[in-house]
């Protein structure tokens, strides 16, 4: 009996030590975002997740699928890193280059149809969702002439991510 009583007391003490975590809420009442860390080996998974998601949106709109393009990926990767260096999300490179210039530099034979950029701590799919909420960035993703997609990012040590998506035709 003494043993059972001691066991019960230990169980009560241990349960008091357990913590339940309730998410911190922001001013809007929604849970604050958790930092999204991209691992070194996640590149192809993230690129294909974005490609599949973009193609699902395009299919729902009755549009043809796009394919990943290495040249557009290179232009997107260069611009993501450059935005971080400049510490601002905008479409011009630190050397004054435009999206058209960057696509030409990598030898893309098609036509640049648009470039979407973002500075965030959010995942690629949350970023895609934000792009779909804005008419101008949604129009880039759903351009009926689109054939190719380049998608890249640069994540700073602070966790901030600079996303770039380029659509070509």
Q: Which pLDDT score, from 0 to 100, does residue 34 have?
A: 65
Contacts of residues 132-137 at CB distance under 8 Å and 24 or more positions apart, as own/partner, are 132/57
Distance CA 144, CA 41 (A): 32
Residue whose pair of structure tokens reads 């971080």 in the numeric block: 84
Q: Which pLDDT score, from 0 to 100, does residue 88 have?
A: 86
Distance CA 84, CA 77 (A): 11
Quote the tokens at residue 102.
Answer: 């960057």
Other C-beta atoms closer than 10 Å to the C-beta of 169 total: 14
Q: Which pLDDT score, from 0 to 100, does residue 162 have?
A: 96
Q: Which pLDDT score, from 0 to 100, does residue 23 have?
A: 65
Q: What predicted TM-score, i.e. pTM, was given to this entire model?
A: 0.79
Distance CA 60, CA 54 (A): 10
Spell out the residues 6+ positions from residue 36 whose beta carbon is closer than 8 angstroms to its own: 121, 122, 123, 159, 161
pLDDT in tens, the chain (169 residues): 565 455 455 455 555 555 555 666 767 777 666 667 777 888 779 999 999 999 999 999 999 999 999 999 999 999 999 999 999 899 999 899 999 999 999 999 999 999 999 999 899 999 999 999 999 999 999 999 999 999 999 999 999 999 999 999 9
Q: How far is CA 101 from the centre of its chain?
A: 24
């Amino acid at each position: 009996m003494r043993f059972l009583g001691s066991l019960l007391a230990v169980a009560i003490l241990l349960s008091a030590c357990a913590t339940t975590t309730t998410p911190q809420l922001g001013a809007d009442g929604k849970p604050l975002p958790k930092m999204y860390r991209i691992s070194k080996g996640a590149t192809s998974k993230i690129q294909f997740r974005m490609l599949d998601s973009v193609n699902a949106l395009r299919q729902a709109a009755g549009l043809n699928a796009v394919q990943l393009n290495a040249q557009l990926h290179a232009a997107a990767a260069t611009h993501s890193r450059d935005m971080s260096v400049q510490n601002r999300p905008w479409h011009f490179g630190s050397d004054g280059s435009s999206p058209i210039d960057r696509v030409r530099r990598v030898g893309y034979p098609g036509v640049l149809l648009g470039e979407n950029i973002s500075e965030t701590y959010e995942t690629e799919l949350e970023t895609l969702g934000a792009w779909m909420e804005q008419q101008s960035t949604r129009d880039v993703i759903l351009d009926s002439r689109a054939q190719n997609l380049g998608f890249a990012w640069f994540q700073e040590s602070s966790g901030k991510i600079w996303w770039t998506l380029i659509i070509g035709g």
